Amino acid sequence: MSIKAIIFDFYGVICSEIGSPWYKQRVSAPVSAELKVHYDRPSNLGDISEDNFFDGIGKAVNLSRDTVRKEWTDAVVINQELVLLIRDLKKTHKTGLCSNTQPKLFRQILKENDLEGLFDAIVSSSEVGMVKPHPEIFKYTLEQLHVLASEAVFVDDRTENVEAATSLGIRSILYKDVATLQKTLNDLAV
C-alpha cells in the first residue's frame, strides 16, 4: 500500500530536546526521575497546568516558574533542514505531528516558528489526554489524518515510540538526522 502520510514527533526531531537537557544541567539523576514522574507525565497528559508544572520543577532548583519557563524557551532550536524537508513532503503527502507536550509552551513554539501550517493534523498529548507510546494516541493521529496504519510513516527519536507505532502496522523510523531520514524515506518510495 502506498504511503499517504508522514507523522513526526516534535521534541528531539523538529525541535531540540529542552526538558531532558534542563534536568541534566539542574538536578541529579534521581531528582530528575522523581520530577519527571510528579510533573512531566501529568503535564503531558494535561492533568496539571503549565503553571503548576513550572512551579513544581522550579521549586526543586529554587527558581521561579517564569525563570524556568524562560530557560526552556531559550533552549528551543528548530531543525530548519527538517522543516524544509517537511515542506517538500507536504506537497505530495499528508503531514502530521504527534508529540508528548505541555500545551501552552508547545503551541507557543509552533506559532513563534510558523510551524502550524506545516501539518494537516497536530496531536498534542496534553490536549488529547494520551501519551506515547500508548497505542491510542497513534490511532487517534491516524484518524485525524484519515489514513490507515499501513498508509503512514512515523518518525520519532525514541525507540519505545517507534516500536509502539510499528506494532500497530505503521512503518516507523528512528530519527537520527535529516540525511538518514531522507534516505530511508526514499527507500520507502516516499
Domain boundary among 74, 94, 115: 74
Rg (CA), the chain: 17
- How many folded domains does the chain comprise? 2
CATH code (residue 152)? 3.40.50.1000
Domain boundary among 32, 56, 74: 74
- Structural domain containing residue 166: 5-15+78-187
Q: Which three cell numbers stand for residue 184?
A: 530511508
pLDDT 10s digit of each residue in the chain, 190 long? 699 999 999 999 999 999 999 999 999 999 999 999 999 999 999 999 999 999 999 999 999 999 999 999 999 999 999 999 999 999 999 999 999 998 899 999 999 999 999 999 999 999 999 999 999 999 999 999 999 999 999 999 999 999 999 999 999 999 999 999 999 999 998 8
Residue 127 makes CB contacts below 8 A (sequence gap 6+) with 46, 103
CA angle, residues 67, 78, 102, in degrees to nearest 5: 50
Rounded Cα gap, residues 50 and 92, in angstroms: 36
**SS3 category, 114:** coil
* Claim to verify: residue 137 and residue 174 sit in the same structural domain: yes
